[in-house]
Chains A and B, each alone.
Chain A
């Protein structure tokens, strides 16, 4: 999961397609529209169109196929559980229950794969309480370092025989390892707080680089939005 996130994060910052250059706010609006339509629509024709459209977005953003397939197929297992749980002897219900999450996850992959996290979190943090918005930034910023520490700890635990013995012993040792990770997190937060004060922390972490700066590439996002709007007008009532 974290490896997927790390790869997506790197691609979002280093990509050079028109989608990468478009503003975060326009992409966020387009993604929200597509996901909302996918969740709300009962028309299989529209759901199919939105799914195809999401693939078009992903392919043109030049994200690696393996990564896209891995991220986009993740909801399949859980959707399948719901398909089995609500089987009504028609083909429409399972198709709907599969197309909705697949469209949403593909669109999400496109959004996070083309938008660096400070630009993506900045508009989201504007609608959340200040402490939550700031927490979003700080959690994400520290995530990869903590993840690397956790992996080193786990490796050390395995090498020193911490994964052998009774389950109780193994779990207690895992807990002690996580205790050291918690401690590392606390100490890291104190250093981070000191750095925030030194840099003149004003009481709000501002991810305000250029998430709302409109660019020429936003015309592509607007065109895509027009396509989605046209499809929904034409296909909303179709079966």
Chain B
């Protein structure tokens, strides 16, 4: 649910244009930090871009898969694991590219690419620092699951914030303020809150399995702790 899926023309211009501008500024800043801020496993910038491209494909593939959970089918976002694996700057670039390709496929409008990148990128940005602080105390699987939970939670909160701002701005344009506004916010919250909690639970459980696999097979792909303990 942290991917916006909002089509073009329904959000107020100030919101989507501001989001796009901020996303572009952050992209430029993250591009400048290429090679230093980006914390990919190894290789120069070209290797980093190739890795990011491959992970972007993995994210899109994961988003397309349907996880059957009773009456609903959940689509993963993998924001947390991606943030942990490649770091905040590279993850922000990755989610921008993923959002742009999704817009080309008709999933979400072109104008919300910036907002999507900000919502998903904010979640991805907190994942790696948190993971590196948790890893001296926890095994990789619970550390990644916990980082993913926080990351997904943050993206979900930002998603809700965008939706509330969008609906409020549309309400202000209405003829009768009594028929719009707060009651619909309550409905939105009632619908979104269970999905938000479900999203956190599902993404964390998947991240747990993902980290358990990587820790067994390629532990070098997972980041090291901030202050490595004594050997």
Name A residues whose Cβ lies closer than 8 Å to a Cβ of B: 1-2, 4-5, 8, 35, 38-40, 71-72, 74-75, 78-79, 82, 84-90, 93, 96-97, 99-101, 103-105, 108-109, 112, 120, 124, 128-132, 134-143, 145-147, 149-150, 154, 163, 167-168, 170-183, 185-186, 188-190, 192-193, 196-197, 201, 203
Contact = CB atoms under 8 A, between A and B. Distances in A.
B7 A189 contact: no
A40 B54 CA distance: 37
B176 to A, nearest CB: 6
B100 A104 contact: no
Consensus secondary structure, chain B interface: helix
A5 B105 contact: yes
Consensus secondary structure, chain A interface: helix
Contacts of B49: 131, 134-135, 138
Given A174-B67, A180-B213, A132 B104 contact: no
Contact of B57 (A78, A112, A143): A143
B101 A143 contact: yes
Contacts of B102: 1
6 contacts: A132-B93, A138-B54, A147-B61, A179-B213, A185-B57, A203-B46
Interface in B149-187: 166-167, 170-171, 173-176, 179-180, 184
* Contact-residue bracket for chain B: 35 or more
B213 A176 contact: yes
A143 B61 contact: yes
Contact of A178 (B57, B78, B184): B78
A20 B211 CA distance: 45
Given A104-B109, A139-B57, A171-B67, 6 more contacts: A74-B7, A74-B106, A105-B106, A146-B58, A173-B209, A192-B53
Nearest to B218: A183
B6 interface: yes
A74 B102 CA distance: 12
A11 B170 CA distance: 38
B134 to A, nearest CB: 17
Given A79-B7, A147-B64, A201 B214 contact: no
Interface of B: 5-10, 13, 27-28, 30-31, 34, 41, 43, 45-58, 60-65, 67-69, 76, 78, 81, 85, 93-94, 96-98, 100-107, 109-111, 166-167, 170-171, 173-176, 179-180, 184, 188, 202, 205-214, 217-218, 221
Contacts of A145: 57
A78 B127 CA distance: 29
Contacts of A40: 13
A171 B106 contact: no
Contacts of A137: 53
A130 B167 contact: no
Given A147-B57, A175-B212, A178-B62, A190 B105 contact: no
A6 to B, nearest CB: 10
Nearest to B171: A86
Given A135-B53, A150-B64, A105 B7 contact: yes
A99 B51 CA distance: 40
